Amino acid sequence: MFLFTWILFIDKYVALDVLFAGIDIPFNCEFVVAQPQNDFVLLSEIYRVSSSQSLQFNRFGNWSQSLGLSVPSCGLYARRGNLNGYTLKTGLKIEHTDRGQHDTEMNSFSTDFFLEYWRYLEKEINFTTEYHYPPDNAYGGKLENGTWTGVIGMLKSGQVEISNVAFEMTAERSEAVDFTLPLYNVRTGMIIRKPSSVALPWNAYLKPFSFKLWAAVLFIMLLSVACMSATRQTSIASSMFLVTAAFCLQGQNLLQRCTSLRLVMVTIYLTAVIVIASYSASFISRLTLREPALPFTDFNEFLQDGSYQLAMLPSTSRLDFLKSSRAELIRQVYKKTVAPYEKNFPTQELVGVESICTKDKYAYFISDKHLVYFSKKISCSYAEIPGASYPGSVAIALRKGSPYTKLFSFRVQEMRRSGLIKTIFIRYSSRLRQDSVEVRYDIDVTDIAPILCILLAGILTALCILAVEFHISKKVGPHRININ
Ligand SMILES: *[C@@H]1O[C@H](CO)[C@@H](O)[C@H](O)[C@H]1NC(C)=O
Ligand SMILES: *[C@@H]1O[C@H](CO)[C@@H](O)[C@H](O)[C@H]1NC(C)=O
Ligand SMILES: *[C@@H]1O[C@H](CO)[C@@H](O)[C@H](O)[C@H]1NC(C)=O
């Protein structure tokens, strides 16, 4: 962007294209020529889309003694929004292995929703695209010796003018390239294969009711026992037995038919039915909506777990984030779980994402927008680690000092304000939404271990009591047991 507006005063009869033949007036330069006409001064803007293109004239305004200055009220890029079919060289990273026959087809193998923005820009700004592909098929990272790889490297060397993929804006990258205003925000996070075991903790059977509610149920049972014994029809012991049976929804054959006892029994049964119904509802819904048991939930637990390796695309801002983070924790994550495997990282996102299905103990670092795109192409379900992510913004990158940066920024801002960016993304992601692969949870022995343990404990206790009874009856001798 030039800081000044240039004005050149020349004579009425000078032909501008002859005067400026061979002189480049860059696209982002405000250069106005003032030529006196009969009763006013004509102001025209001149520029070239690129140094090899013909000179463009735009009528800019008039100045006359009587009317003063009249110039357009809109800004530079609202007036100068047309590249006249100029061919921009762009750098594109291919995301698929199955390349097309012709170069022009290759552009459809990138992340499609960005290309929809691109097609919109092509139409709005009126330019065509010449695709170039980085030899290492990478987005762009900085090597130790300061050289940039991938598309960023191509931009830096001036091989291409603009990127055809959205780049995450980082401080390091902005030293090598220029960015437009951000297109959208992303969150880069860790995914792993969805664990097939689910969390069914030992206290799962107590969880449906809170501690206070359990206390209330116990209190009601005791109160019921008290009420029942107060009718003087049953003993305390048999009242306890009857109340417990009622709360297990077991019927009984009461010999006594006195009204007070019946009233108490009706109350107990009604209470028990409500308590049991709400317990079952809560318990069953907990069983149905079980969450997979994640082995870790954030970077810290990931590091402590230590059994997973973390992979991502090489030469990306994600890798740079882990590599050059100021947080000790993140640097440790890089050192222990990333660096040893860095040489073997897949250069295609799809291959990397698919690896979480085919390899065990494999975590993958990916941005949420890419995940939307690739999640439907992979063969297993994935789980996102909620606490292992970081936010960022992506934008179009241009060669440092490119004359088109402001123009693209202007258009990007317009697209954001009009909601187009969001609309395209939503339309795009809903098109991808199919029936996702469901993980089915089979109940295995470990899941019902609590029930089995209670059963086992019951059997053991019963055996012990039987042994004790046996012993006593031997000593005391057989006698009739009165069950009533
Ligand atoms: C400048 O003057 C011409 C001729 O008088 C007129 O047609 C044109 O609309 C004027 N332009 C502006 C921007 O005032
Ligand atoms: C785009 O540029 C071409 C080439 O200069 C021109 O013929 C065409 O009219 C332009 N289209 C628009 C919509 O401005
Ligand atoms: C930096 O290293 C890469 C590969 O290791 C090499 O291709 C490149 O030429 C080096 N650049 C400089 C400036 O040394």
Query: Does ligand 2 lie within 6 Å of residue 85's CB atom?
Result: yes
Residue 126 Cα to ligand 2 midpoint, Å, equals: 6
Which positions of the chain have pLDDT values less than 70? 1-2, 96-112, 197-200, 254-256, 431-443, 477-484
Q: What atom of ligand 1 comes closest to residue 70's alpha carbon?
A: 14
Max Cα distance, the chain (Å) = 139
Prediction pTM value: 0.73
Best probe residue, ligand 3, of 147, 157, 315 (max atoms within 8 Å of C-beta): 147
Residue with tokens 């960016």: 421
Residue 84 Cα to ligand 1 midpoint, Å, equals: 25
Give the closest residue (by CA) to ligand 1 atom 7.
Answer: 62
Position 439 scores a pLDDT of 56
Give the closest residue (by CA) to ligand 1 atom 6.
Answer: 62
Token duo for residue 158: 């001036």
Give the closest residue (by CA) to ligand 2 atom 13.
Answer: 126
Q: What atom of ligand 1 comes closest to residue 62's alpha carbon?
A: 1
Query: Does ligand 2 lie within 6 Å of residue 56's CB atom?
Result: no
Position 281 scores a pLDDT of 94
Query: Does ligand 2 lie within 6 Å of residue 84's CB atom?
Result: yes
Q: Which ligand is nearest to the CA of 82?
A: 2
Q: What atom of ligand 2 comes closest to residue 82's alpha carbon?
A: 14
Q: Which ligand is nearest to the CA of 58?
A: 1
Best probe residue, ligand 1, of 42, 70, 73, 79 (max atoms within 8 Å of C-beta): 70
Query: Does ligand 3 lie within 6 Å of residue 145's CB atom?
Result: yes
User: Which residues line the pocket of ligand 1, CB cutoff 6 A?
Assistant: 61-62, 70
Residues in the chain, how many?
484
Please write down the HEC assignment for all residues of the chain.
Answer: CCCCEEEEECCCCCCHHHHCCCCCCCCCCEEEEEEECCCCEEEEEEEECCCCCCEEEEEEEEEECCCEEECCCCCHHHHCCCCCCEEEEEECCCCCCCCCCCHHHHHHHCCHHHHHHHHHHHHHHCEEEEEECCCCCCCCCECCCCCECHHHHHHHCCCCCEEEEEEECCHHHHHHEEECCCCEEEEEEEEEECCCCECCCHHHHCCCCCHHHHHHHHHHHHHHHHHHHHCCCCCHHHHHHHHHHHHCCCCCCCCCCCHHHHHHHHHHHHHHHHHHHHHHHHHHHHHHCCCECCCCCEHHHHHHHCCCEEECCCCCHHHHHHHCCCCHHHHHHHHHHHHHHHHHCCCCHHHHHHHHHHCCCEEEEEEHHHHHHHHHHCCCCEEEEEEEEEEEEEEEEEECCCCCHHHHHHHHHHHHHCCHHHHHHHHHHHHHCCCCCCCCCCCCCCCCHHHHHHHHHHHHHHHHHHHHHHHHHHHHCCCCCCCC
Position 99 scores a pLDDT of 46
Give the closest residue (by CA) to ligand 2 atom 6.
Answer: 84
Output the CA–CA distances (angstroms, integers) from residue 372 to 93, 222, 428, in the order listed.
18, 56, 9
Position 253 scores a pLDDT of 75
C-alpha–C-alpha distance, residues 53 and 271, integer Å: 88
Q: What atom of ligand 1 comes closest to residue 61's alpha carbon?
A: 13
Residue 62 Cα to ligand 1 midpoint, Å, equals: 6
For residues 301-340, one letter each, b for 16 or more C-beta atoms within 10 angstroms of the residue's C-beta and e for the rest, the string is ebbeeeebbbbbbbbbbbbbbbbebeeeebeebbeebbee
CA 312 to chain centre: 15
Token duo for residue 55: 């000179």
Residue 438 Cα to ligand 2 midpoint, Å, equals: 50
Token duo for residue 395: 């934008």
Give the closest residue (by CA) to ligand 3 atom 1.
Answer: 145
C-alpha–C-alpha distance, residues 132 and 101, integer Å: 15
Best probe residue, ligand 2, of 49, 50, 56, 126 (max atoms within 8 Å of C-beta): 126
Give tens-digit pLDDT for 373-413.
Answer: 777 778 888 889 988 999 999 999 999 989 999 999 999 99
- Whether the CB-CB separation of 164 and 127 falls below 8 Å is answered with no
Output the CA–CA distances (angstroms, integers) from residue 103 to 37, 57, 109, 133, 407, in the order listed.
52, 35, 11, 10, 27
Token duo for residue 305: 């777990």
Residue 58 Cα to ligand 1 midpoint, Å, equals: 13
Q: What atom of ligand 2 comes closest to residue 123's alpha carbon?
A: 13
Query: Does ligand 3 lie within 6 Å of residue 135's CB atom?
Result: no
Tell which residue, 480, 399, 456, has the closest CA to residue 88: 399
C-alpha–C-alpha distance, residues 53 and 33, integer Å: 19
Give the closest residue (by CA) to ligand 3 atom 11.
Answer: 147
Position 393 scores a pLDDT of 92
- Whether the CB-CB separation of 151 and 139 falls below 8 Å is answered with yes
Position 474 scores a pLDDT of 85
Position 128 scores a pLDDT of 92
Give tens-digit pLDDT for 403-425.
Answer: 999 999 999 999 999 999 888 88
Q: C-alpha angle with apex 168: 295 to 148, nearest 5 degrees?
A: 105
Give tens-digit pLDDT for 61-96.
Answer: 889 888 888 888 888 888 888 888 899 999 888 776
Residue 79 Cα to ligand 2 midpoint, Å, equals: 15
Share of the chain above pLDDT 90, in %: 29
